[in-house]
Amino acid sequence: MENPYAPPRAAVQDVVDPSATLVCAEPSTRFGAVMLDALIAAGMVYGTFLFAFLTSAALERSGDRTGSGLILLGGFGLALIGFGVWCWLTIRHVKRNGQTLGKKILRIKVVRTDGAPASLGRIFWLRNVVNGLIGIVPLYALIDHVFIFFGESRQCLHDKIADTIVVVA
């Protein structure tokens, strides 16, 4: 028989297993993920616009100014669609498991320093927006990334601000 005066019990899903060990991602892997993210974003956004621009230029050389303008306008529209798709994919993966597309490919992810999942808000606001605003300060971006080489946790300044680490997934 259950004690009616006992405190309530609930299964907590977000408790991190203290016996699980976190392995911090190598700086080179983190750099590779940033480069992959940049290439994916550039391909989805600028790739379509570049193709349209080159096609438009070829049409303009042949004397078809109307077709050239329409192709350029279409390329701009495709670039906007590509940006929207890139944003949707990135938000979806970051929200689900703390990974951008580049991090997912290289099997690393962002978590809280205690190993708990990092929320989309924490990653977006603290790792990106706040860090971007501080980035106005000259040389901040360089100093931010140099911090990765100091300490066992391999945290950049934006990781320290957001209380996150990047680990092997």
> What does the pLDDT look like over 73-127, one tens digit per residue?
999 999 999 999 999 999 999 999 999 999 999 999 999 999 999 999 999 999 9
- The total domain count for the chain is 1
Residue 1 lies in a domain: no
Residue 2 lies in a domain: no
Q: Which residues, other chains included, contact 1 with Cβ-Cβ below 8 Å and sequence gap of 6+?
A: none
Burial (CB count within 10 angstroms: exposed 0-12, middle 13-18, buried 19+), residue 28: exposed
Taking only Cα atoms into account, the Rg of the chain, rounded to an integer number of angstroms, comes to 22
State which residues form the domain around 162.
27-168
pLDDT at position 42 is 95
Residue 5 lies in a domain: no
Q: List the beta bridge partners of residue 51.
A: none
For residue 73 the two structure tokens come to: 């306008």
pLDDT at position 66 is 82
Residue 113 lies in a domain: yes
Residue 162 lies in a domain: yes
Residue 151 lies in a domain: yes
- In this prediction the pTM is 0.80
pLDDT at position 153 is 87
